[in-house]
Structure 1
Amino acid sequence: MVMNKEEILEELRSTLSGKTFDALLPPIIFALINAFFDLTLATGAAFVIAAFLGFFRFFKKQNWFYALGGFLAVSLAASFAYFTGSAANYFVGSLVSSAFLFLVAFVSLVTGKPLAAWLSHLTRGWPLDWFLRKDVKPAYREVTIVWTVLLFFRFFIRLIFFQRGSATELAFVNTLSGWPMIVPVLVLSYIYGIWRLKKLKGPGVEEYQRGDQPPWKGQTRGF
């Protein structure tokens, strides 16, 4: 099945919205200022940038939820780095979250409720029972397996660079292993997921909700 470029871009826009820029900018600014000046100035700059993004989103009546979350995360990370006297500790939170996401993905596979299915259920509001059907769940399980491997790899790489103790290197690695890695993974997951659902020959979510009987057209949009 061939999907057009507009369909994939629309799916990405609904997933990413404006949060990518809000998440990437503060740690990059922190690392650069720390590299050229000092930890105190870097900490202050991270606070200011995160606060500015939050106010900007709010006054522009854009989605400021992620900017607020980013401000809180930056506040904790920058404070921890400042009071411990180590700029590398700014990235402790991202290291912990990487480990946590890997564990969540792994446990979801073990329990038979794939993370990809749960995330789609929460964001799209589709019935959870549909995701767990035998002619639907394999697509979400296989995507989650790939995610689990990549999440472990991301955690392992971040751990190695965290042990090296360079904030600049950590900012570079965290940035590359963040949205620049996630975006192509989401695109490929979407393309593979739709293709796999078609091969499984189960009902599309709307057909399932209507109680249609086979043969089904299957899921043609959204994963």
Structure 2
Amino acid sequence: MGGVSGLIYSSLPVVVFVPISSLFGLLSAIVSALLVATGILIWRLARRETAQPAISGFFGVGICALIAYLMGESKGYFLLGIWTSLFWAVVFGVSVLIRRPVVGYVWGWTGGHGQRWRTVRRATRAFDLITLVWAVLFAARFVVQNQLYDADQTGWLGVARIAMGWPLTALAALGTYFAIKVAQTAIRDVDRAQPDAVEADTSGAESVRGD
């Protein structure tokens, strides 16, 4: 939810971590990633941007660095992201199976729309579809990066982390935009049709009484 800048900021520590780990070792890579994360945090706060993505990003890098340090392996830096992808794949997938699509609830909550969309079939289908797209995206990240992790391909892990971050997220975000548009149109159509139906019923009743 940090937008384009959030995607860039979240990738910078990875871009720094991988080559420094190969050239100078794990400890230097951890320090460098933390320094980059600290710089990003300070930069975003100085620009008075929303603090939550900056702070959560900083702690995310810190946790990844801690895991790598405790494991004594550079690839440990990616472990949290790998299993987080699996977690979200399951959450999004299950939400579609039980007809409670996550994207619909997030849209309703963040935009103050409530759960009105659940009463409109076309809106529910749109949110089902895009939630399934996100589930597939997260599952693909897990499968690819987990295989690279098991193969000890730290360099390719960094490449996969970035390549499956920006491009896939952008495509899924675009799909989410269109799904929301479809849902909004469907809800408006239903809202317009309902007053007409009520008016028709009222006219019919008055006609009967007149007869």
Return the TM-score normalized by structure 2: 0.83
Whole-angstrom distance in 2 between the partners of 1:40 and 1:15: 29
Aligned equivalent of 1:50: 37
Displacement after TM superposition at 1:192 (Å): 5.2
Whole-angstrom distance in 2 between the partners of 1:118 and 1:195: 15
Whole-angstrom distance in 1 between the partners of 2:72 and 2:119: 48
Whole-angstrom distance in 2 between the partners of 1:104 and 1:21: 25
Residue 64 of structure 2: SS of its match in structure 1?
helix
Given that 1:34 and 1:87 are in contact with CA atoms closer than 8 Å, whether structure 2 keeps it comes out as yes
Aligned equivalent of 2:158: 171
Cα shift readout 1:43-100 (whole Å, capped 9, x = no counterpart)? 0001111011111111221123212111111111111112211000000110111001
Aligned equivalent of 2:114: 127
Moved more, 143-152 or 153-162: 143-152
**Identity score, percent:** 22
Find 2:173's aligned residue among 168, 179, 186. Answer: 186
Residue type at the aligned position of 2:188 = G
Larger proportion of helix = 2
Given that 1:117 and 1:140 are in contact with CA atoms closer than 8 Å, whether structure 2 keeps it comes out as yes
Displacement after TM superposition at 1:163 (Å): 0.8
Aligned equivalent of 2:200: none
Displacement after TM superposition at 1:185 (Å): 2.0
Unaligned runs of 5+ in 2: 198-211
Cα shift readout 1:87-145 (whole Å, capped 9, x = no counterpart)? 00000110111001101111101221112212212322212132443232111112222
Going from structure 1 to structure 2, the CA distance change for 1:15 and 1:76 (only over 3 Å counts) comes to closer
Unaligned runs of 5+ in 1: 1-13, 216-223
1:213 aligns with 2:195: yes
Residue type at the aligned position of 2:187 = P
1:71 aligns with 2:24: no
Given that 2:89 and 2:138 are in contact with CA atoms closer than 8 Å, whether structure 1 keeps it comes out as yes
Return the TM-score normalized by structure 1: 0.79
Moved more, 177-186 or 45-54: 177-186
Displacement after TM superposition at 1:203 (Å): 2.5
Given that 1:50 and 1:70 are in contact with CA atoms closer than 8 Å, whether structure 2 keeps it comes out as yes
Going from structure 1 to structure 2, the CA distance change for 1:132 and 1:22 (only over 3 Å counts) comes to farther
Residue type at the aligned position of 2:70 = F
Residue type at the aligned position of 1:121 = G
Going from structure 1 to structure 2, the CA distance change for 1:135 and 1:84 (only over 3 Å counts) comes to closer
Aligned equivalent of 2:206: none
Moved more, 165-174 or 43-52: 165-174
Find 1:99's aligned residue among 61, 72, 86. Answer: 86
Whole-angstrom distance in 2 between the partners of 1:15 and 1:131: 27
RMSD: 2.5
Cα shift readout 1:11-51 (whole Å, capped 9, x = no counterpart)? xxx86153112211112211121122111100000111101
Aligned equivalent of 1:145: 132
